[in-house]
Structure 1
Amino acid sequence: MSRVPQGPSRRLLFAGALAAVSAAVTGCSSDSAGSSSGGAKRLRIGYFAFPSGDLLVKNRKLLEKALPDYDISWVKFDSGASVNQAFIGKSLDIAALGSSPFARGVSGSSPIPYKVAWILDVAGENESLVARKATGITDVAGLKGKKIATPFASTSHYSLLAALEAAGLAASDVQLIDLQPQPILAAWQRGDIDAAYVWLPTLDELRKTGNQLTSSKEIGAAGKPTLDLAVVSDDLIARDPKAIDAWRKAQAEALRLLKSDPQGAVKDVAAELSISAADAEAQLSQGVFLTPEQVVSAGWLGTDDSPGKLLTYVTDTGRFLADQKQIDAAPSEDVVRKAFYLEGLADVLK
């Protein structure tokens, strides 16, 4: 696999990124009681500037209303890799995380101490592979030898690898470049890259001068779905499971609001992303949002001691990443199962 020059060592880059993440988090000291200096219980929540129920929970302060005595801080992240680093640094209690970086996080001899506890959304047209129109590329096979940018260790990265494989290309047949969404847009505008696999809102900017070659909706339908999950730290599970219950119920309410109050949801997303209502509505229309009943069903997350098909999806993702040499070895299904927190999940339906 071809990559851009790395510059400083990965260890230094990791340390710098981790320090920046930790500094950004309110009250990032890791004490077992999870309390701020004022004595209030603390929840540090990582989220993405990406249309989902998470933005409704944040904008409507659903969690703050449910837990009025808690000090709740919301920290924005650009990618799952940064979320994983923050959990390693014990700077987060709850966070959004793609299924691919989650599979990475639970692999290896020292898995990240967190567990999946909710499903935010299923990737659809909101994550796609786009080629610059100027290149003349109209299908994935035409990317051979071309420069393709994507945030490494993300769901888009996983879907890109799956798209290349389906087109008969290996990762070594193209030049893969690790870039976050905003740098992808800048590189695209300069003509430094030929294509990119990324998510909204950057994706919509690329579409203005690009041809969409495939999407995560198509790749998912072909057997490799990706999802935006929500994970909770092992420490939070041990010390405050009731806070997780309240957070799940807030997420369930947000999923219901996406169906019952679509215009209100549009206003929430527009406010959180500082975009027009029309743009927010267009972005929401590209996602796939489950109902709370679907989340806890056997077809997805499952309940208590009966994990659903998500277990298979994450396990398969791990195998694929190992086959692609993205991780050293795939986590077993048993290892993935241990990284599910399903206790009390069915209570969100009450």
Structure 2
Amino acid sequence: MKKTLSIALNTLACTAIVSSATFAQAADKPDTVSIGYFLEWPTANQVAQVNETYNKEMGVNVEWHAFDSGTAMSAAMASGGVDIAYSQGLVPFTIAVSQGLPITMVGVAVSYSKNDNCIVGSNTNITINNANDLEGKNVAVPFGTVSHYKMLKIMEHLDIDIKKLRMLDMPPADGAAALARGDVAMSCGWGGALRRMKEYGSELMSAEAQEDIGIRVFDVISASNSFAEEYPELVTQFLKVTDDANKNYQMDPAAVQPIIAKASGLSLNDSNQVLGLFDFPLKEEQISEKWMGGSVQKFTKEVADFFVLQKQMPRSLDDYSQTINASFYTKVN
């Protein structure tokens, strides 16, 4: 596992280009803006995606590219294929900036604690009370993601030796299939894949119990530094459309839920189940101490230091405040 993650990190590091910390004035608009997002991940802003509100408000052609993990988003941003990543996991973001990838967190996409978890197979008879029985068994988890971080924190809390786990780097969909076949004792993931996992097992630790031990889960909105420096107004416009969509969803969820379900590739029932576990922070909350006003910077550092301690990442930054910029959201009106 360490070798695989190390290779991914080195790839990001080699691709990263040193970028100025000062954001330049907006230049002429590009022909196209590329946005990364997830399928089977229903979010309020997908109404604006479907209605092409982003295109209209930003005044550019907006292309949406689906990914299956935040690490894949990082790789795409490193290669210049994605300008803005929507709902990139905090862990992939943290790993990327720790290795020098020139991207910046410009917002919080969604907060969720119940829609990302680890499921143990029913045939294992493993619960939180005998969790040590996982040692020596196969565990599916997408490396370098929020699920990976949560799993490691849970194992630490339950005093399970991760060196004795046979961890397999699998996207959630593959992990769900492996759990269904009985190839793994536990699988970790999110969204539609997590719901499928639950058909074949149960949570090792509830979301509430995870919050009690300090595990916080949220996805970010990140932008490549080169794009944000050249087109700061487009970043703010993207955030404004997103904020408006979040407000509309809060005012009347039922009116837009069918649109979100279709855009996410889920049935209305499945989509609504996921949406019920999501919170979409609005502007004032985004720029407050609770989020980008200070809390996110501190938590990002905690996550990075934990990964270094677990030898899943070679080093962390002394300070992550330079990789998190609330000024774009501050300008949303």
TM-score range, shorter chain: 0.7 to 0.9
Counterpart of 2:72? 82
The alpha carbon displacement at 1:160 in A equals: 0.4
Q: Is the 8 A contact 1:94 1:233 kept in 2?
A: yes
How far apart in 1 are the matches of 2:247 and 2:322? Answer: 29
Partner of 2:22: none
Q: 2:321 aligns with which of 318, 333, 337?
A: 337
User: 2:107·2:222 contact (CA, 8 Å) conserved in 1?
Assistant: yes
1:25 counterpart residue number = none
Residue of structure 1 in register with 2:101 after alignment: 112
Secondary structure of 1:201's counterpart equals: helix
Structure 2 counterpart of 1:239, from 206, 230, 242? 230
Q: What is the identity, as a one-letter code, of the residue corresponding to 2:64?
A: W
Counterpart Cα distance in 1 of 2:325 and 2:256: 28
* CA deviation after TM superposition for structure 1 residue 34, in Å: 8.6
In the aligned structure 2, how far is the partner of 1:53 from the partner of 1:273?
10
Rounded to whole Å, the distance in 1 between the matches of 2:209 and 2:46 is 25
> Residue 180 of structure 2 contacts residue 200 of structure 2 at CA under 8 Å; is this kept in 1?
no
Alignment partner, residue 48 of structure 1? 38
> Which residue in 2 is equivalent to 1:123?
112
Q: Distance in 2 between matches of 1:287 and 1:331?
A: 30
Q: Which residue of 2 aligns with 1:29?
A: none
Root-mean-square deviation (CA, aligned residues, Å) is: 2.5
Equivalent positions of 1:45-194 (< 5 A) are: 45-49=35-39, 50-68=41-59, 70-96=60-86, 97-108=88-99, 111-139=100-128, 140-194=131-185
The one-letter code sitting in structure 2 at the alignment partner of 1:131 is: V
CA distance in 1, matches of 2:280, 2:212: 15
The AA in structure 2 aligned to 1:41 is: D
Partner AA of 2:117 in structure 1? S
* Whole-angstrom distance in 2 between the partners of 1:256 and 1:198: 28
Work out whether residues 175 and 187 of structure 2, in 8 Å CA contact, stay in contact via their aligned partners in 1.
yes
Q: 1:74 to 1:218 in 2, by over 3 A?
A: farther
Aligned length: 315
Q: CA deviation at 1:42?
A: 1.9
TM-score, L = length of structure 2: 0.87
Q: Are the aligned partners of 2:283 and 2:330 in contact in 1 as well (CA < 8 Å)?
A: no
Q: Does 1:205 align with 2:196?
A: yes
> Is contact 1:144-1:173 (8 Å) kept?
yes
**Tell me, which stretches of 5 or more residues in structure 1 are unaligned?**
19-32, 303-307
What is the percent sequence identity of the aligned residues?
24
Q: CA deviation at 1:217?
A: 5.2
Whether the 8 Å contact between 1:216 and 1:226 is mirrored in structure 2 is no
Q: Distance in 1 between matches of 2:316 and 2:309?
A: 8
Q: Distance in 2 between matches of 1:216 and 1:157?
A: 15
> Which one-letter code corresponds to 2:264 in the other structure?
L
* Contact kept? 1:44, 1:93, Cα under 8 Å: yes
Query: Separation in 2 of the partners of 1:78 and 1:216?
Result: 22
Q: Secondary structure at the match of 2:66?
A: strand
Kindly tell me: are residues 171 and 92 of structure 1, through their superposed partners in 2, closer, same or farther at Cα, counting changes over 3 Å?
Answer: same
Q: In the alignment, residue 122 of structure 2 is paired with which amino acid?
A: K
For 1:261, which of 211, 236, 252 is the aligned residue? 252
Structure 2 CA distance for partners of 1:164 and 1:88, relative to 1, 3 Å: same
Listed one character per residue, the Cα deviations across residues 210-241 of structure 1 (whole Å, up to 9, x for unaligned) are 11112555424421312100101111121111
Deviations 1:15-69 (A, max 9, x none): 9xx9xxxxxxxxxxxxxx897xxxx53211000121223423322322112123x
Match of 1:322 in 2: 308
